[in-house]
């Protein structure tokens, strides 16, 4: 069973793509990339950018939160609170009741589920709720990394809130360029073109909360 974050993301993307009845070539065509690039992502040989990940989620008709995997399983596989043992409650797992309604979500620091992207950017999932349209995570931007290696801005549904834990991040939102440093916070509409870039010499760590509606299953990227 895969445990590497890159391999877990790839296998999860392949699973979601298959469930959506989309061929690898069709996904590549709509993303305007080569089929081999999509194949490399699914096989854990390559990593998408933040922008590509959002595009994939939109194309596949799922919120980004559903692209995280838990020990190789889908994130909605959980433990019944009523039957969970004390040891299970101390492990990094989501706890649901029988109707899959989130009751408690606990994650230990050493075993957060991660998505690692092309420029070294990490998303570390802090907790989950029944609302998969919510992403609650710690983001890590290594020195010199950015949301997109191409410099292209991100545009997606939702609203973002961020709090800087350490380091500094440059955030471009529309025509505005802002610097977020330790102890500072921000909120903005994700439908405005935006880009995160670490232009400093130390890693940036922040708490990020993204709330937005997933696209319709039939929505296509033009």
pLDDT at position 14: 92
First to last CA, the chain: 36
- The neighbour count for residue 99, using CB atoms within 10 Å, is 6
CB-count exposure of residue 176 (10 Å: 0-12, 13-18, 19+): exposed
Segments of 53-158 assigned E as strands: 69-70, 73-74, 79-80, 93-96, 102-106, 113-116, 122-127, 134-141
Rounded to two decimals, what is the model's pTM?
Answer: 0.73
The reported pLDDT for the residue numbered 2 is: 55
Residues 6+ apart with CB under 8 A from 13: 41, 42, 56, 60, 67
Task: Tell me phi and psi for residue 97, to 5 degrees.
Answer: -90, -175
The Cβ of residue 127 has, within 10 Å, a number of other Cβ atoms equal to: 15
Quote the tokens at residue 89: 């409650």
Say which CATH class 5-70+110-211 falls into: mainly beta
Helices 5-19 and 35-42 pack at an angle, to 10 degrees, of 120
Q: What is residue 84's predicted lDDT score, i.e. its pLDDT?
A: 43
The 8-class DSSP code of residue 66 comes to G
Please list the pLDDT of the chain residue by residue as tens digits (222 residues): 456 777 888 888 999 999 889 999 999 999 889 999 999 999 988 888 888 888 898 888 887 877 876 543 444 434 433 344 444 444 444 444 444 444 566 777 776 788 889 889 999 888 776 666 788 899 999 999 999 888 889 988 889 999 999 999 999 999 999 999 999 999 999 999 999 999 999 999 999 998 875 554 433 333
CA–CA separation, 60 and 219 (whole Å):
8
Tokens of 11: 């296998």
How far apart CA 177 and CA 162 sit, in angstroms, is: 15
Do the beta carbons of residue 9 and residue 115 sit within 8 Å? yes
């Amino acid at each position: 069973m895969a445990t590497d974050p890159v391999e877990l993301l790839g296998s999860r993307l392949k699973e979601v793509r298959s469930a959506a009845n989309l061929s690898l070539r069709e996904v590549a065509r709509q993303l305007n990339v080569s089929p081999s690039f999509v194949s490399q992502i699914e096989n854990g040989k390559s990593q998408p950018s933040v922008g590509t990940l959002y595009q994939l989620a939109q194309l596949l008709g799922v919120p980004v939160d559903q692209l995280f995997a838990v020990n190789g399983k889908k994130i909605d596989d959980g433990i019944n609170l009523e039957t969970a043992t004390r040891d299970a409650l101390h492990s990094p797992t989501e706890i649901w009741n029988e109707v899959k309604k989130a009751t408690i979500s606990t994650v230990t620091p050493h075993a957060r589920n991660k998505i690692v992207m092309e420029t070294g950017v990490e998303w570390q999932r802090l907790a989950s709720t029944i609302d998969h349209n919510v992403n609650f995570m710690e983001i890590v931007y290594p020195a010199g990394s950015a949301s997109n290696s191409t410099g292209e801005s991100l545009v997606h549904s939702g609203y973002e809130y961020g709090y800087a834990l350490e380091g500094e991040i440059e955030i471009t939102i529309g025509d505005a360029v802002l610097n977020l440093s330790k102890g500072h916070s921000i909120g903005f509409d994700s439908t405005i073109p935006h880009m995160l870039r670490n232009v400093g010499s130390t890693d940036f760590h922040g708490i990020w909360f993204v709330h937005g509606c997933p696209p319709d299953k039939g929505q296509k990227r033009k």
